[in-house]
Chains A and B, each alone.
Chain A
Amino acid sequence: MMKSLLEKLTTFIVVLVLPLMVIYFTVYFGLRRGEPKEIEFTSKATLAPKVDHAEFEILQQNFVNPKDVTAACLSCHNKRDDELMQSTHWRWEREAYIPGRGNVKIGKINLINNFCTGAPGNNGSCMRCHIGYGWEDKSFDFEDPTNIDCLVCHDKTDTYFKQKGKAGWPATAETADAEFAVPDYNYVSQHVGLPDRDNCGVCHFFGGGGNNVKHGDLEKALFHGDKKLDVHMGEDGSNMSCIDCHETKNHNIKGRAYSVSAENTNRIACENCHTDSPHNDKVIDAHAFKVACQTCHIPVYAKKAATSLWWDWSVAGRKDEHGNGFKEYDSDHNYDYLSIKGHFVFDNMVKPEYYWFNGTVDHYLIDDTISEVPVKINTLFGNYSDTAAKIWPVKVHRGRQPYDPVNKSLLSVKLWGPEKGDGAFWNDLEWDTAIQMGMAYWERPYSGQYDFIETEAFWPLNHMVSEKDQVLSCVDCHDRQDSRIASLNDFYLPGRDFNKGVDYSGFALIFLSLFGIVGHSVLRIVAPYKFK
């Protein structure tokens, strides 16, 4: 009786309960597979200041010169100037180790780019985005703390701006115009706090001379974007500010720009918040060993405004029938010819190019000799066999820019000047004088001959992260016809690559398995009869 009951119970469990449990748990975990883990955070930029600056007597004085505001800030926030004056935002250079070169000083102050070629010598225009007042020439005092512009980063009123062409100064009573008024220093200084995206974006969204020209993934639409534009910064989503990722301690802002930094230090990574296994799916998580998060999660960049992909200085300088410079536009109203800058190709919703990248970068330095064409403004290190390297999405900015065919070096050009006739290219459209002035400022040799040469610069993408239903799927890469990473052919990628030996070995294994199953079944059927 007992035995019979036990047999029935065993049969019940094996036949009904166990299969149901298998089905239940398969469905349970299957439904949850691929669901990313939720991250909780509080946006720092929206936190209320711990003090009311309007109550401080020192901020109630009648400021006329912004340097007096800085002095007032430092009277309470002492030693902050020491921190800030060590930063790259202040120095525009840092010491870095580059393999094959050793320790070198690099930064905007001494690197050539393929946008406006370089900042030094064009101080009136470029140094508007320096966090100081009046870097007009080499006499600028980097040790004077009152030269620090605290307000450009800490203004919470959105009324404080540096004036165009004034080397970082705001408008004065003499220079104010319809676009730039004299700031109300009392109002601004009494309403300060942690930087929000307006403070960062006013410079970083307009790099290269206009909205989204340089980066491709940083533009003014991010001031008030939605989740489709950037899943982190979308106002209808996480609504994060820049400093939520670019964490800052003692004015040291984490998250170096990959394109202008050399070492893989002081950077930020998606894993800092999302961990290294965020997908709840082991197969996808395993991809992170060789694939950067950005590769799948930034399928396109320049989602709103177009970005510059080609900039050809060789055709700059043309004049119309009246002897004046002119502009032409493409059908999307992006300029595609400016006499002062040359010919452009702009585009939006751009698919990135993909490269191996281990976080370290080489640069064309001002004393380098050109050894290859196109000249690489920067070089991303990494390849498949490099254990630190991953596949990254990259914006590549290509173009032609002036070089010295005798000295075989890229040239620095004096582009900006305050008035016509001063020799600056944007005023007079004359190359030779502008190059002489540019090279003289940089104290570099110029043979007197110039021509134009093709260059390319590589900008790893980090922003404009897409929502999860817009990210790349398997077949975007694992596809024989149209793989996104078709150009990375130093490794075997299943689905994209094929090898007859591997393919036929696979088929053979499948057939052998089938043969084994069928053979085993036949034997099981035949055996009882044979041994009866």
Chain B
Amino acid sequence: MKKILVFLLLAFVITACNKKSEVQTVDAMVESALTHVKLIEPEGLFNLMNSEEIYTLVDVRQELEFYYGFIPGSVNIPRGSLEFKIGSQEFWDGIGLYMPEKDEKIVVYCKKGQRGILAAETLGKMGYTNVYALDGGWKNWELAYPDLYEKDLDKLGGHSSAPASSGGC
């Protein structure tokens, strides 16, 4: 009886020590992803855009974020559908672009960087071996190259709109 009690106590202590928290904060998830996701600075992306290297630039923001301003040459694949579209021949045919190969350079970005890092991690899990996340995302790009941007106002029904009270003096 005494041995059984000691065994149970030991088993309890060991399992208690090994129990890991299953709930993660988004900051912890991003930090964990950063241990294997590679970052690229805006200057690096700019140089890539001006090189001969083949690359795919993916904006993982929602459509209504994308249309208001994006890096030239970006393909918008919201993060929620990234896994389904990145390897879909039908999707790439639909936008008239070649589907990226698994070893081809892919740069993903979001508004400020965190979604892009998680998206890059997802692509890594799917076997894409040459994936980079844009450090600081679209906002970092805007400040580094404020003249290099595009908008898709047609998708927004002409000029973009905002509350009438904004606009300064």
* Chain A residues with a Cβ under 8 A of chain B: 116, 125, 164, 208-210, 213, 309-310, 312, 320, 326-331, 333-336, 338, 341, 343, 345, 347, 349, 398, 416
Contacts and interface: CB of A to CB of B under 8 A. Distances in A.
A213 B168 CA distance: 8
Contacts of A213: 168
Contacts of B167: 210, 327, 335, 338
A333 B163 contact: yes
B146 A310 contact: yes
Contacts of B163: 333
Interface of B: 61, 64-69, 111-112, 139, 142-143, 146-147, 151, 153, 159-163, 166-169
5 contacts: A320-B159, A329-B160, A334-B162, A335-B166, A341-B168
B154 to A, nearest CB: 13
B142 to A, nearest CB: 5
B168 A333 contact: no
Contacts of B153: 328
B169 A210 contact: yes
B162 A335 contact: yes
B160 A338 contact: no
A205 B150 CA distance: 31
A329 B142 contact: no
B168 A328 contact: no
Contacts of A338: 167-168
Contact of B168 (A209, A309, A312, A336): A209
A309 B151 CA distance: 19
Contact of B69 (A116, A320, A331): A331
A306 B169 CA distance: 16
A36 to B, nearest CB: 25
B166 A333 contact: yes
A334 B167 CA distance: 8
A208 to B, nearest CB: 8
Contacts of B146: 310, 312, 343, 345
Contacts of B166: 210, 329, 333-335
Contacts of A309: 143
A330 B169 contact: no
A110 to B, nearest CB: 21
Nearest to B111: A331
A123 to B, nearest CB: 13
A530 B146 CA distance: 80
Nearest to B169: A209
Contacts, number: 67
B139 to A, nearest CB: 5
Q: Which of B61, B64, B143 has the most CB of A within 10 A?
A: B143
A453 B69 CA distance: 24
Nearest to B166: A335
B4 to A, nearest CB: 36
B147 to A, nearest CB: 8
Contacts of A329: 68, 160-162, 166
Contacts of B65: 331
Contacts of A328: 151, 153, 159-160
A349 B113 CA distance: 13
B169 A416 contact: yes
Q: Which of B67, B162, B163 has the most CB of A within 10 A?
A: B162
A337 B146 CA distance: 12
Contacts of B159: 320, 326-328
A314 to B, nearest CB: 9
Nearest to B64: A331
A397 to B, nearest CB: 11
A341 B169 CA distance: 11
A327 B168 CA distance: 12
B52 to A, nearest CB: 30
A205 to B, nearest CB: 13
A125 B169 contact: yes
B169 A310 contact: no
Contacts of B68: 329-331, 336
Contacts of A210: 166-169
Contacts of B66: 331
Contacts of A208: 168
A343 B139 CA distance: 14
Nearest to B67: A331
A125 B168 CA distance: 11
A452 B110 CA distance: 31
Contacts of B67: 331
Q: Which of B61, B153, B160 has the most CB of A within 10 A?
A: B160
B132 to A, nearest CB: 16
* A-B CB proximity, top 3 nearest: A209-B168, A331-B68, A210-B168
Nearest to A125: B169
A334 to B, nearest CB: 7
Contacts of B161: 329
A312 B148 CA distance: 13
Given A312-B146, A341-B168, A343-B146, A333 B162 contact: yes
Contact of A347 (B64, B139, B168): B139
Given A327-B162, A328-B160, A335-B162, A310 B143 contact: yes
A331 B69 CA distance: 8
Contacts of A164: 169
A446 to B, nearest CB: 24
A254 to B, nearest CB: 29
Q: Which of B112, B153, B161, B166 has the most CB of A within 10 A?
A: B166
B168 to A, nearest CB: 3
A320 B159 CA distance: 10
Contacts of A320: 159
Nearest to B146: A310
Contacts of A341: 168
Contacts of A333: 162-163, 166
Contacts of B143: 309-310, 345, 347, 398
A398 B68 CA distance: 22
A326 to B, nearest CB: 6
